[in-house]
Structure 1
Amino acid sequence: MGKRKIFNLDDYRKRDAVAGPDQQGKRRGKLSFYVFPGSIRGLLKERKWLLLALLVMALICLLPAPRGLTVEGKYALGLWVFVIICFLTEAIPLPATAIIIGCYQVFTGLAGFRDAPRAFMDDAVIFIMGVLMMGAMLMKYNIHNRVALFVLKLCGTRIERVILGIVAFCAFSAGFITEHAAVMIMLPIGVGIVSLSGGYKKVPNLAKLVMLSIAYGVMIGSVAAPSGGARNALMLGLLSSLNINIGYGQWMLMVMPFTLVMIPVVSYWLLNLFTPEVKDLSGIVQAIREEMEASGPLTVQARLALAIFLAVVVGWIFASHRYGVGTIAMTGILLAVVLHLVDWSYLQQKTQWGVVLLYAGAISMGKTLISTGAASWLAGQFLHLAEVAEVSQGLSLLAVTATVTALVTNTMADGPTVAALGPIFLKVAELSRTSPLVIGVSTSLASAFSYLLIIATPANAIVYGPGYLEARDFLKAGGVLFLVSLLLTVALLGNFWWRILGLW
């Protein structure tokens, strides 16, 4: 890898020498604004969203704690609102927001200065770091191009069929090999397609389209089977504690229609939202084919790298419940380094550390919301409002609990969301004489609707890594899918399919 200067001072001087006096003055004026703001008004305009987030957070912290919420929970609630505003508006760089989470916890007494950094370390954080490194290793040996060629041969070269194929592959894979493995397989393919199409600057819409197809594909598929994620297994355990035992096939029968309907919906919506610059990928197929012929068969090092990747995927499927997905991913990376398949300096250069830090902060905030009781208090308030609106049982209760879960899961990981809300909602269902099975499965399903924020799920954080997406892209694309998913959960499953199955 050659060294490239981030900023060349000589080039800057040449531009100033060529530019006229007026242009030089404008440039210097602009520079002085950012280094030394010329006016308070300019600074306020530049940082208005950050100031709004700080103001709302301060207001929440200064007000008395509501009934049922501890002081620590009030502080956690203020942090939660602050982070949401910053993530939605990109008031400051997102990794910087993650750092604020840790500092806030220490200054408000939510965690000690020794405990706060520990909260940033989680198996999911190590997993994201391992996935980004694994992707860099596969790209070094052009393995992603070979897999991309196979996928394109299978789907055809028309962009509509390619996107439908990516969404369908991710959806069906995520239900059985977990969404982590599905994203890991497809991410290098997506990067390869964008790169061979001319890169992000030439095809920005195609880049966003492919990345979001991967992320949203695994979301809609990870709920189709109990093996699709920890949230599903957790809900099975909660239902079992109520003597409600549901089999693997029964779960699939209940949820699979949602996945089947959402595959074409996601494909159609993303294709229309991000109209791709390239309509046919036959040129890319030819370019990959020529590159493969020029490079010849896989080298011994490439075969070893591929074998390590496949071993990691197998480990995720069969051993993640014992060792964790993060430990398994990093074991594969360490093995690759020991075998000299990849240099650590290369991994350090290619890994998007800001993404790792971003998700670490999100995990820490989720733990804080649970430990302080803020998550349970929020759920209780939503349910209280539902009771006031005379929404207390049946289909209306399902709609409320699913909506609450979907909103909360966009600011916490899906597992903690189900852990925090699942017991509450199952108890509410039991007391209101509504099927706990229906409420439980719909809660697990809605916890997958992590369309809106980068921190909502590892899939979003991983596809954000290559730098093709901005935070507002998730909000722009995910807002409609969020509403459609809730509508399908209530209307298609709750009011139609589950009645046919006799669950009501």
Structure 2
Amino acid sequence: MNDLKPGNMRGSHYLTFFSKKKEKKSYNMGQLIGLILGPLLFALTLLFFHPEDLTTKGIFVLAITLWIAVWWITEAIPIAATSLLPLILLPIGHVLNPEEVSAQYGNDIIFLFLGGFILAIAMERWNLHTRVALTIINYLGTSTSKILLGFMIATAFLSMFVSNTAAVMIMIPIGLAIIKEANELKNDHTNSASINKFEQSLVLAIGYAGTIGGLGTLIGTPPLIILKGQYQSAFGEEISFAKWMIIGVPTVIVLLFLVWTYIRFIAFKHDMKELPGGQYLIKQKLDELGEMKYEEKVVQFIFLLASFLWISREFLLKNWAFTSEVADGTIAIFISVLLFLIPAKNKAKHKRIIDWEVAKDLPWGVLILFGGGLALAKGISSSGLAKWLGDQLRLIEGV
């Protein structure tokens, strides 16, 4: 009965009050501001912005661009949902018809990235990505400088073909395992401050390498896909996979070297030459992986085939009548179909190398975002807004 005393009831009420879960709001303050500001800018632009040398369609596209941009930036609604607005607004403004707008969401570029996602998932499913990363690090040596460089090269290489985030998340646990092993194997002569500096440098180096590596190929990072689409739309020329790699890969090499030099010898300079247990742990992890399995060999072969086709398309496939119309997206879907087609030996896990279950793991929102960006770009160019914006920059001509 003591539990029912008023004091205890007050205490119980007090604890219950503070243990209540806070109600999740539909919109936070930033989202709410964006939600209102987007349509408001759209309306104000249509009502009060009427330059003589810009068509009505151009004004309308400028207005919807401001609306969509504000919603993208503030995430008033999910970014992918905002990316569907061109399907509604461009036909309403008589800028493009529905067929022209929706065609942008099925652009070859979208399928290039879709195929890249499927290939990345196949590598992750059968653990090929881990083997590639560990092999690169193992090959480069045992010194702290070489291990740091090895992690950066492995991360950058993976990032050329899988997402930057995925590449970094693959490498970070391996890096932390090496640090943990080093701490366990250190002796009286090992400087703890040096291990601490190396740990910081390794984590940051992996992060930087993931971002840098994405510049190497067109499927390495989403902005390059948008660049490819915009370049083709604006100049009528295509940036092929091989053409971009001629610029991208040397850029990656130079940036990796600069970042490695800065991190190793300036930002986190230390006196530890060899890392305790570093090479041992890498070899141990490679031994744990065992012999390359059949499924890994298949994914490796398809990965190499895709790389060869993407790189050689410009000077090889285009010169054959049969394959002259093949684009990067065509190759991406071709290798995706192969992954869906080839059976797996380890049927306890999966019947085929890739099955349709992967569809739920694909970042469809990113693909819709690309489509929305391409549709908006098409509207900007066809409405005359792009030309008008270019004319406004004549004041800085020659700068």
Asked whether the two chains share a fold, i.e. TM above 0.5, the reply is yes
Deviations 1:107-148 (A, max 9, x none): 333333444322211111111111111100011111111111
3-state DSSP class of the match of 2:52?
coil
Counterpart AA for 2:335: G
Post-superposition shift, 1:359? 1.4
The aligned residue for residue 83 of structure 2 is 98
Post-superposition shift, 1:210? 4.5
Among candidates 383, 386, 395, match of residue 385 of structure 1: 395
Larger CA Rg, structure 1 vs 2? 2
Deviations 1:224-253 (A, max 9, x none): xxxx97999999999xxxxxxxxx9xx98x
Q: How many angstroms apart in 1 are the aligned matches of 2:164 and 2:14?
A: 50
Post-superposition shift, 1:365? 1.4
Post-superposition shift, 1:360? 1.6
Q: How many angstroms apart in 1 are the aligned matches of 2:293 and 2:62?
A: 54
3-state DSSP class of the match of 1:34?
coil
Are the equivalent residues in 2 in contact too, given 1:129–1:356 (CA < 8 A)?
yes
Deviations 1:261-297 (A, max 9, x none): 65555668999xx99xxx9998887666434423422
Counterparts in 2 of 1:262 and 1:338: CA distance versus 1, 3 Å: closer
Among candidates 305, 308, 312, match of residue 302 of structure 2: 308
Higher relative contact order (Cα pairs below 8 Å, separated by 6+ residues): 2
Post-superposition shift, 1:371? 1.7
3-state DSSP class of the match of 1:323?
coil
Q: How many angstroms apart in 2 are the aligned matches of 1:185 and 1:155?
A: 24
Counterparts in 2 of 1:205 and 1:166: CA distance versus 1, 3 Å: same
Are the equivalent residues in 2 in contact too, given 1:166–1:217 (CA < 8 A)?
no
Counterpart AA for 2:395: L
Deviations 1:362-409 (A, max 9, x none): 122122212222122212211x231xxxxx43xx2xxxxxxxxxxxxx
Question: Do structure 1's residue 87 and structure 2's residue 75 form an aligned pair?
Answer: no
Question: Do structure 1's residue 65 and structure 2's residue 45 form an aligned pair?
Answer: no
3-state DSSP class of the match of 1:51?
helix
Q: How many angstroms apart in 1 are the aligned matches of 2:126 and 2:374?
A: 33
Post-superposition shift, 1:188? 5.9
Structure 1 residue runs without a partner (length 5+): 1-18, 36-41, 171-180, 223-227, 239-247, 387-391, 397-504
Aligned residues: 326
Q: How many angstroms apart in 2 are the aligned matches of 1:291 and 1:163?
A: 15
Are the equivalent residues in 1 in contact too, given 2:83–2:371 (CA < 8 A)?
yes
Higher helix share: 1
The aligned residue for residue 350 of structure 1 is 361
Q: How many angstroms apart in 2 are the aligned matches of 1:282 and 1:113?
A: 63
Deviations 1:312-340 (A, max 9, x none): 11111122664111110111111111113
Counterparts in 2 of 1:297 and 1:81: CA distance versus 1, 3 Å: same
TM-score (norm 2): 0.65
Q: How many angstroms apart in 1 are the aligned matches of 2:167 and 2:279?
A: 12
Counterparts in 2 of 1:234 and 1:45: CA distance versus 1, 3 Å: closer
Counterpart AA for 1:192: I
Among candidates 25, 32, 51, match of residue 34 of structure 1: 25
The aligned residue for residue 74 of structure 1 is 59
Question: Do structure 1's residue 323 and structure 2's residue 315 form an aligned pair?
Answer: no
The aligned residue for residue 94 of structure 2 is 109
Deviations 1:401-432 (A, max 9, x none): xxxxxxxxxxxxxxxxxxxxxxxxxxxxxxxx
The aligned residue for residue 372 of structure 1 is 383
Counterpart AA for 1:348: A
Post-superposition shift, 1:217? 5.7
Q: How many angstroms apart in 2 are the aligned matches of 1:143 and 1:109?
A: 49
Counterpart AA for 1:161: L
The aligned residue for residue 178 of structure 1 is none
Question: Do structure 1's residue 192 and structure 2's residue 176 form an aligned pair?
Answer: no
Post-superposition shift, 1:307? 0.9
Structure 2 residue runs without a partner (length 5+): 1-10, 178-199, 222-226, 238-242, 319-324, 344-351
Question: Do structure 1's residue 128 and structure 2's residue 131 form an aligned pair?
Answer: no
Counterpart AA for 2:336: I
The aligned residue for residue 141 of structure 1 is 126
The aligned residue for residue 290 of structure 2 is 296
3-state DSSP class of the match of 1:294?
helix
Counterparts in 2 of 1:262 and 1:22: CA distance versus 1, 3 Å: same
Question: Do structure 1's residue 363 and structure 2's residue 374 form an aligned pair?
Answer: yes
Q: How many angstroms apart in 2 are the aligned matches of 1:298 and 1:362?
A: 41
Equivalent residue runs for 1:438-457 within 5 Å: none
Counterparts in 2 of 1:108 and 1:191: CA distance versus 1, 3 Å: same
Are the equivalent residues in 2 in contact too, given 1:213–1:270 (CA < 8 A)?
no
Are the equivalent residues in 2 in contact too, given 1:80–1:365 (CA < 8 A)?
yes
Q: How many angstroms apart in 2 are the aligned matches of 1:334 and 1:185?
A: 21
Counterparts in 2 of 1:84 and 1:348: CA distance versus 1, 3 Å: same
Q: How many angstroms apart in 2 are the aligned matches of 1:350 and 1:148?
A: 23
Counterparts in 2 of 1:192 and 1:46: CA distance versus 1, 3 Å: closer
Counterpart AA for 1:371: S
Counterpart AA for 1:34: K
Aligned Cα RMSD in Å? Answer: 4.6
Q: How many angstroms apart in 2 are the aligned matches of 1:107 and 1:27?
A: 50
Q: How many angstroms apart in 2 are the aligned matches of 1:52 and 1:269?
A: 43
The aligned residue for residue 466 of structure 1 is none
Q: How many angstroms apart in 2 are the aligned matches of 1:354 and 1:380?
A: 34
